[in-house]
């Protein structure tokens, strides 16, 4: 373990104290500390992030930052890495995994791979082809390549950072040289990812160069670009209405926020990040179960800062080390922190409880409006989540906060999505598949297409449970149909007839026209539930293309892939 040298700018006893902390620390703790210190310096010390002197172009080492993203985190980190690499004297290039083939990959020298995991251990949609080619038996050797992998994920999922792990192993198996250990980032990835990017770039930097470049941490990056997750904007709620009927089995709300002065310049297709607060009643239950009732400072942290619902198997293990409570490895499934504390029936200290908990992550909501129609407002469509598991009634943190407990304002920031935008050509037809809250961005799309006088045709597929109770924004769609902004609308209400009927069934019924629109260059957008809907919609699209083109499954897949590569099959699924 490297220790601080005697020449470090600290007093002797401070050096000894720091060395003893370092010596006893784990890899994760050091990564966290590095990120924390880097962030602290950037946020508090105006001299901390001086740009480095320019490096002459002749000496610039090539660097490719290859990202695979679904919701933009990996892409944002790639952009951040590019800035840092430029300052360190690299000639960096950022590439989406969708835009590289294996021959190009094999020709690269220095590569930073930044990839997230989705579904159940799946790559982001646009990285599917890349994964397939990389894993194929005929994948080329990558002997020339020096690389390191930053994996994004969420510890609440069983397949934590699976895609990053898979890529890391496969690059090595194909003969590439791993220059730094992979980092597996949880939802609070900003600080550890920044620290990892800086330390990995330092290792990747070709030797023999003067070390004049200052390691650059880009914490202030977004400050000038509007509110962030760390510094959200308190947007006033100006309108709040329940859209589903009182007899509906779902509970979905329309919320309008005033974003004037926030600097949030969203485009239709973007989402808002919400920094929620936890249910105070649940915070009290957690405190009581840990034997910490009455600790008011901790109560505030549990409400505002810490994740007191999600339970990961790592937390069960950590709790076991503290208390001796060691249930089966999959005990965490469907359970929450409160179940763990009650089952373990042990008293914890405040420090033990806080170190057990993750930071409270933000939630994302598609923006259901266009600024061209609503000005400095952002509209959201939020389904309140309530369910039962292991005999206990549970509530979604953010959706209940927003629809039930909201206090007149919400803390928000922009989550731009460059990959879910209306066609730049206003004459291009658009097909929108948005059951449930998946319809939200399409309200923004229609407002935008109407406000800009786009001439392309528009077709919406909407689905929910009951026509009477769940037809979200029904009057608006009908107005758009009447004034010709919306050309077609097909709906599927699953519970209105004995047989379940979903959007994919209606798409199949309309397959001739749907294939015709696609042949005419339409862009097809899918938004909403990833597991229950997007997979079925994808499967029906393949069936439709096979059926209408008279080809087999492989040809249909090639056709849909070509449409996707053409930027005309876009998904925002969650």
Ligand X SMILES: Cc1cc2nc3c(=O)[nH]c(=O)nc-3n(C[C@H](O)[C@H](O)[C@H](O)COP(=O)(O)OP(=O)(O)OC[C@H]3O[C@@H](n4cnc5c(N)ncnc54)[C@H](O)[C@@H]3O)c2cc1C
Residues in the site for ligand FMN, rule: CB under 6 A? 69-74, 116-121, 124, 152-154, 157, 159-162, 530, 574
Q: Which is nearer to ligand FMN, 96 or 559 (CB)?
A: 96
* Strand locations in 190-284 (E): 233-242, 252-258, 271-274
Q: Which does 289 bind (CB under 5 to 8 A by kind): ligand FMN, ligand X, none?
A: none
Q: Tell me: does residue 363 bind ligand X (CB under 6 A).
A: yes
572 binds ligand X (CB under 6 A): yes
Stretch that binds ligand X, among 74-82, 101-109, 360-368, 405-413 (CB under 6 A): 360-368
Q: Which DSSP symbol is given to 235? A: E
- What are the backbone dihedrals phi and psi of residue 57, each rounded to the nearest 5 degrees, phi first? -55, -30
What part of residues 297-336 is at the interface with ligand X (CB under 6 A)?
309, 334
Between 109 and 188, CB nearer to ligand FMN: 188
Output the residue with the shortest Cβ distance to ligand FMN. 153
* Residue the block writes with tokens 């930052």: 65
- Closer of 146 and 465 to ligand X (Cβ): 465
Nearer to ligand X, 69 or 71 (CB): 71
- Percent helix, strand, coil in the chain (nearest 5)? 40, 20, 40
319 versus 442: smaller Cβ distance to ligand X = 442
Q: Which of 82, 214, 201, 92 is nearest to 148 (CA)?
A: 201
Rule CB under 6 A: say whether 125 interacts with ligand X: no
When the beta carbons of 134 and 185 are compared against ligand FMN, the nearer one is 185
Residue 158: CB minimum distance to ligand FMN, A: 7
Considering only 277, 366, 485, 510, the residue that binds ligand X (CB under 6 A) is 366
In the complex with ligand FMN, which residue's Cβ is closer, 411 or 417? 417
Count of CB atoms within 10 A of residue 10's CB? Answer: 13
Selected from 233, 266, 319, 364, the binder of ligand X by CB under 6 A is 364
Footprint of ligand X on residues 261-300 (CB under 6 A)? 271
**By CB under 6 A, residue 80 contacts ligand X:** no
DSSP letter string, 49-93? TPPPPP--GGGPEEEEEEEE-SSSHHHHHHHHHHHHHHHTTEEEE
Instruction: Specify the stretch interacting with ligand X by CB under 6 A; choose among 136-144, 162-170, 208-216, 389-397.
Output: 389-397
Q: Does 121 bind ligand X (CB under 6 A)?
A: no
Strand locations in 243-301 (E): 252-258, 271-274
User: 39-78 mask for ligand X (x: CB under 6 A)?
Assistant: --------------------------------x-------
Q: How many residues bind ligand X (CB under 6 A)?
A: 23
The nearer residue to ligand FMN, 166 or 379, going by C-beta atoms, is 166
Handedness of CA 148, 131, 273, 287 (dihedral sign): negative
Kindly state the smallest distance separating residue 519's Cβ from ligand FMN, in Å.
31
In the complex, least distance from residue 70 CB atom to ligand FMN, rounded to whole angstroms? 4
Separation between Cα atoms, residue 553 and residue 543, nearest integer Å = 7
- Residue 255 lies near ligand X (rule: CB under 6 A): no
Residues 6+ apart with CB under 8 A from 519: none
Q: What is the dihedral of CA 159, 164, 165, 167, to 10 degrees?
A: 130
Note whether 442 binds ligand X by CB under 6 A. Answer: no
The dihedral sign for the CA sequence 439, 440, 442, 443? positive
DSSP 313-337: HHHHHHHHHHH-----GGGGTT-BH
Q: Are 503 and 492 in contact (CB under 8 A)?
A: yes
Looking at the DSSP assignment, which residues form a beta bridge with residue 229? none
398 binds, among ligand FMN, ligand X, none (CB under 5 to 8 A by kind): ligand X
Compare residues 280 and 359 and give the one whose CB is closer to ligand FMN. 359
The DSSP string of 334-369 is T-BHHHHHHHHT----HHHHHHHSEE---EEEEB--
Q: 440 or 570, CB closer to ligand X?
A: 440
Decide if 80 contacts 216 (C-beta within 8 A).
no
> Shortest distance, CB of residue 385 to ligand X, whole angstroms?
4
Binding residues vs ligand X (CB under 6 A): 71, 271, 309, 334, 363-366, 381-383, 385, 387, 389, 396-400, 437, 440, 572, 574
């Amino acid at each position: 373990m490297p220790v601080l040298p005697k020449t470090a700018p600290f007093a002797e006893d401070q050096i000894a104290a720091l060395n003893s902390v370092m010596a006893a620390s784990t890899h994760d703790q050091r990564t966290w500390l590095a990120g924390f210190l880097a962030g602290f310096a950037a946020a508090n010390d105006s001299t901390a992030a001086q740009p480095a002197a320019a490096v002459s172009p002749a000496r610039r080492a090539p660097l490719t930052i290859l990202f695979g993203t679904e919701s933009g985190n990996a892409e944002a980190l790639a952009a951040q890495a590019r800035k840092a690499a430029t300052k360190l004297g690299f000639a960096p290039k950022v590439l989406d995994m969708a835009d590289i083939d294996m021959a190009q990959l094999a020709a690269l020298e220095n590569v930073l791979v930044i990839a997230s995991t989705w579904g159940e251990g799946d790559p982001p949609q646009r990285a599917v082809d890349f994964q397939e080619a990389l894993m194929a038996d005929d994948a080329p050797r990558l002997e020339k390549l020096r690389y390191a992998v930053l994996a994004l994920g969420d510890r609440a999922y069983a397949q934590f950072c699976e895609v990053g792990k898979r890529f890391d192993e496969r690059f090595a198996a194909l003969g590439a040289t791993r220059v730094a250990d992979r980092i597996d980032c949880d939802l609070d990835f900003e600080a550890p990812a920044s620290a990892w990017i800086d330390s990995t770039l330092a290792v990747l930097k070709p030797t023999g160069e003067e070390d004049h470049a200052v390691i650059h941490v880009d914490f202030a990056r977004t400050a000038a670009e509007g509110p962030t997750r760390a510094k959200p904007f308190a947007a006033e709620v100006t309108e709040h209405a329940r859209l589903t009927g009182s007899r509906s089995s779902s509970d979905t709300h329309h919320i309008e926020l005033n974003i004037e002065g926030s600097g949030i310049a969203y485009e239709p297709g973007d989402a808002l990040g919400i920094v929620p607060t936890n249910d105070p009643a649940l915070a009290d239950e957690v405190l009581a179960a840990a034997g910490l009732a009455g600790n008011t400072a901790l109560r505030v942290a549990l409400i505002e800062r810490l994740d007191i619902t999600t339970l990961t198997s790592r937390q069960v293990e950590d709790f076991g080390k503290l208390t001796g409570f060691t249930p089966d490895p999959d005990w965490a499934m469907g359970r929450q922190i409160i179940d763990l504390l009650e089952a373990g029936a042990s008293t914890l200290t405040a420090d033990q409880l806080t170190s057990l908990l993750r930071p409270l992550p933000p939630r994302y909501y598609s923006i259901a409006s266009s600024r061209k129609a609503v000005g400095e407002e952002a509209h959201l469509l939020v389904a309140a989540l309530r369910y039962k598991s292991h005999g206990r009634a549970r509530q979604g943190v953010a959706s209940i906060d927003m629809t039930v407990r909201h206090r007149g304002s919400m803390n928000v920031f922009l989550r731009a999505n460059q990959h879910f935008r209306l066609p730049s050509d206003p004459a291009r037809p658009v097909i929108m598949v948005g059951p449930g809250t998946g319809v939200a961005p399409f309200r923004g799309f229609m407002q935008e297409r109407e406000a800009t006088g786009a001439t392309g045709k528009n077709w919406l597929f909407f689905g929910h449970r009951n026509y009477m109770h769940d037809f979200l924004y029904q009057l608006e769609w009908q107005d758009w149909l009447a004034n010709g902004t919306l050309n077609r609308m097909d709906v599927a209400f699953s519970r209105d007839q004995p047989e379940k009927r979903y959007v994919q069934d209606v798409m199949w019924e309309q397959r001739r026209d749907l294939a015709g629109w696609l042949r005419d260059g339409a862009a097809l957008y899918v938004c909403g539930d990833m597991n229950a809907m997007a997979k079925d919609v994808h499967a029906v699209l393949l069936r439709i293309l096979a059926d209408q083109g008279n080809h087999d499954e492989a040809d249909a897949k090639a056709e849909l892939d070509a449409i996707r590569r053409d930027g005309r099959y876009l998904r925002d699924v969650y």
